[in-house]
A and B are shown apart, each in its own frame.
Chain A
């Protein structure tokens, strides 16, 4: 369907001709390659010239590279979507679009899809760097596909946040800042919001944070840990922890007393992806309802048109 979305086609055309896209592609892959090389160096440093690597180290290397890639995705997508509608507003092309036959949802989906496609272009172009670990083994094509899928969902989720603010804010800068604040609060702030007192208490008692991760303290996250289901980075951690690094129970770290129901714990990855995909759909719908002409009275127009 998106293939036929005129906004998507137009955006792809425009983006492909922008120097910004080429520069972003180079910087993204250079940054990732640097980290990849560093991780490679760390893996083989211990074994010296024998080139014998510890199997677990290779998996760690994969975790580091994909982790950095995932953070980059979360950092770039909101900037792409937050500017999309606000730019149309600034260039005064939004009013023209709204008088044409394309639906508001069509505009939002086209814009979001083009931002996601740039992101996926970056991710796909970085596959050679990720595939370095293939040279040692331990990672299957299926694992890479799971990671790509996870990245896609996270990109849509973060992109939808940017899209809402792009519709709400008249200026591009305001939209970008607001999107990042919400994303930072969601990824970084949420854990501290919910578990801050326990973490501080633990630190005061033990002088470090380590016990938090090994369940060796009195800190019990209890069922509140479910709130992390909204956090894309925790979905990534769940995938990495369960599949690659430790092979153990992800909740052993978050919920040592196993207060979370077994069903949620067992299906954390798929549940969090489903929840985030659902929230993304809701945010897309909200964005299309917020998409009104540049005029203050626009909201009224929309109500009238919906009759």
Chain B
């Protein structure tokens, strides 16, 4: 289990992380969400040992990984938001380089590399130069590199950014497969749909603190209380807006053309139907009135 307690970090007197607390179980795919500058990369760099926190503790399976660098390096694989590849090396040589760093040699090394390239759908590319690979292949190669020493925790910073849809799906399938092997995956992304597709739990970071954490289902259920309702108004738009503004359970009214989105603060079908009736009785023409399922995106917008 990865446990982060009271993590704090400031840059030039400005607090980036303020008392960050997290608990992630083994084998989970944890989505780390936050706006730009919320402190996601800072947190990941601290976990990887590239930054020192001002305060706080980070333990993996009970081992203080901030204190014991050698243990951390054995237990953790880090993939930053850039490739970090070398020119003039083939895929096989690139993998051999990292495998040698972790003490692999001879047949064991070859076997491990072949195994990883197979998992990453890169088998047959061994003799290809790394810089000639497509973006998706480079990304998968980097993931293979981080997996070479069989880490317990994988830290992936924006791993799917810039990937085309087919490559992204392939990447997500690989990540899911890795988690089935009990590897804990700590992943950050701007693409919340992508995260909701693969993550088993998420944590939303806002202004240096976790504002929401839990399994995907928990978070969805917890946020269902604040429904998002969309309606298409065909006549009397202004009257509709006035009625909605006056309604005590309606908040966050957003108007785009004939479409109105509102937050209805009770998960109560009767109250919703009363709202619809009142609009219709006032002569507002409504073509559609739908309650949207709570998505990670809508939850994120609500809490940040």
**Chain A residues close to B by CB (< 8 Å):** 4, 6, 9-10, 13-14, 17-18, 91-93, 95-96, 98-102, 293, 295, 297-298, 300-301, 303-305, 307
The residue in chain B whose Cβ has the minimal distance to the Cβ of A107 is B101
Indicate whether B176 reaches chain A with its CB closer than 8 angstroms. Answer: no
For the complex, give the distance between the alpha carbons of A307 and B72 in Å: 14
Cross-interface CB contact of A301 among B52, B78, B84, B101, cutoff 8 Å:
B52
A101 & B74 in contact (Cβ 8 Å cutoff)? yes
For the complex, give the distance between the alpha carbons of A4 and B96 in Å: 12
Indicate whether B226 reaches chain A with its CB closer than 8 angstroms. Answer: no
Least Cβ–Cβ distance between A244 and chain B, in angstroms: 42
Indicate whether B100 reaches chain A with its CB closer than 8 angstroms. Answer: yes
For the complex, give the distance between the alpha carbons of A93 and B83 in Å: 8
A14 & B84 in contact (Cβ 8 Å cutoff)? no
The residue in chain B whose Cβ has the minimal distance to the Cβ of A17 is B88
Indicate whether B127 reaches chain A with its CB closer than 8 angstroms. Answer: no
Q: B60-91 toward A: CB 8 Å interface, digit per residue (1/0)? A: 00000011011001101010101011111100
- Given A6-B100, A10-B86, A101-B73, A96:B78 Cβ within 8 A: yes
Indicate whether B45 reaches chain A with its CB closer than 8 angstroms. Answer: yes
Task: Count how many chain B residues have C-beta atoms less than 8 Å from C-beta atoms of the other chain.
Answer: 31
Cross-interface CB contact of A300 among B52, B67, B89, B97, cutoff 8 Å:
B52
For the complex, give the distance between the alpha carbons of A307 and B68 in Å: 8
For the complex, give the distance between the alpha carbons of A91 and B131 in Å: 13
Chain B interface main SS type: loop
Indicate whether B51 reaches chain A with its CB closer than 8 angstroms. Answer: yes
For the complex, give the distance between the alpha carbons of A102 and B50 in Å: 14
Least Cβ–Cβ distance between B16 and chain A, in angstroms: 11
The residue in chain A whose Cβ has the minimal distance to the Cβ of B85 is A93
B82 & A14 in contact (Cβ 8 Å cutoff)? no
Chain A residues with Cβ below 8 Å from B67 are 304, 307
Chain A residues with Cβ below 8 Å from B69 are 305
Nearest 7 A-B pairs (CB), nearest first?
Answer: A6-B100, A305-B69, A300-B52, A17-B88, A96-B84, A99-B78, A293-B50
Cross-interface CB contact of A91 among B49, B78, B84, B100, cutoff 8 Å:
B84
A101 & B49 in contact (Cβ 8 Å cutoff)? no
- Given A10-B86, A307-B67, A99:B76 Cβ within 8 A: yes
Least Cβ–Cβ distance between A17 and chain B, in angstroms: 4
A304 & B50 in contact (Cβ 8 Å cutoff)? no
Least Cβ–Cβ distance between B84 and chain A, in angstroms: 4
Chain B residues with Cβ below 8 Å from A305 are 49, 69
21 A-B residue pairs with Cβ-Cβ distance under 8 Å, sorted by A, are A4-B100, A6-B97, A6-B98, A10-B89, A14-B87, A96-B78, A98-B50, A99-B48, A99-B76, A100-B73, A100-B102, A101-B74, A101-B102, A101-B149, A293-B45, A293-B50, A295-B51, A298-B50, A303-B52, A304-B52, A304-B67
The residue in chain B whose Cβ has the minimal distance to the Cβ of A91 is B84
For the complex, give the distance between the alpha carbons of A14 and B89 in Å: 7
Chain A residues with Cβ below 8 Å from B89 are 10, 13-14
Cross-interface CB contact of B97 among A9, A95, A304, cutoff 8 Å:
A9
A102 & B84 in contact (Cβ 8 Å cutoff)? no
Indicate whether B257 reaches chain A with its CB closer than 8 angstroms. Answer: no
Indicate whether B194 reaches chain A with its CB closer than 8 angstroms. Answer: no
Indicate whether B172 reaches chain A with its CB closer than 8 angstroms. Answer: no
Indicate whether B167 reaches chain A with its CB closer than 8 angstroms. Answer: no
Chain B residues with Cβ below 8 Å from A101 are 70, 73-74, 101-103, 149
11 more CB-based (< 8 A) A-B contacts, given A10-B89, A100-B98: A6-B101, A10-B93, A13-B88, A98-B50, A99-B49, A100-B101, A102-B101, A295-B45, A297-B51, A298-B51, A305-B49
Chain A residues with Cβ below 8 Å from B102 are 100-101
The residue in chain B whose Cβ has the minimal distance to the Cβ of A106 is B101
The residue in chain A whose Cβ has the minimal distance to the Cβ of B77 is A99
The residue in chain B whose Cβ has the minimal distance to the Cβ of A100 is B101
For the complex, give the distance between the alpha carbons of A14 and B93 in Å: 10
Least Cβ–Cβ distance between A145 and chain B, in angstroms: 33
Chain A residues with Cβ below 8 Å from B80 are 92, 95-96
Cross-interface CB contact of B50 among A18, A91, A295, A303, cutoff 8 Å:
A295
For the complex, give the distance between the alpha carbons of A101 and B76 in Å: 10
Cross-interface CB contact of B51 among A4, A91, A93, A301, cutoff 8 Å:
A301
Least Cβ–Cβ distance between B134 and chain A, in angstroms: 19
For the complex, give the distance between the alpha carbons of A303 and B53 in Å: 12
B residues 80-123 near A (Cβ < 8 Å) are 80, 82, 84-89, 93, 97-98, 100-103
Chain A residues with Cβ below 8 Å from B51 are 293, 295, 297-298, 300-301
- Given A6-B100, A99-B73, A305-B69, A297:B52 Cβ within 8 A: yes
Chain A residues with Cβ below 8 Å from B82 are 92
Least Cβ–Cβ distance between A12 and chain B, in angstroms: 11
Least Cβ–Cβ distance between B61 and chain A, in angstroms: 18
Between B11, B49, B70, B82, the greatest number of chain A beta carbons within 10 A of the residue's beta carbon is seen for B49
The residue in chain B whose Cβ has the minimal distance to the Cβ of A103 is B70
For the complex, give the distance between the alpha carbons of A238 and B279 in Å: 102
B residues 145-170 near A (Cβ < 8 Å) are 149
Least Cβ–Cβ distance between B117 and chain A, in angstroms: 18
Chain B residues with Cβ below 8 Å from A13 are 88-89, 93
For the complex, give the distance between the alpha carbons of A95 and B51 in Å: 10
Chain B residues with Cβ below 8 Å from A18 are 88
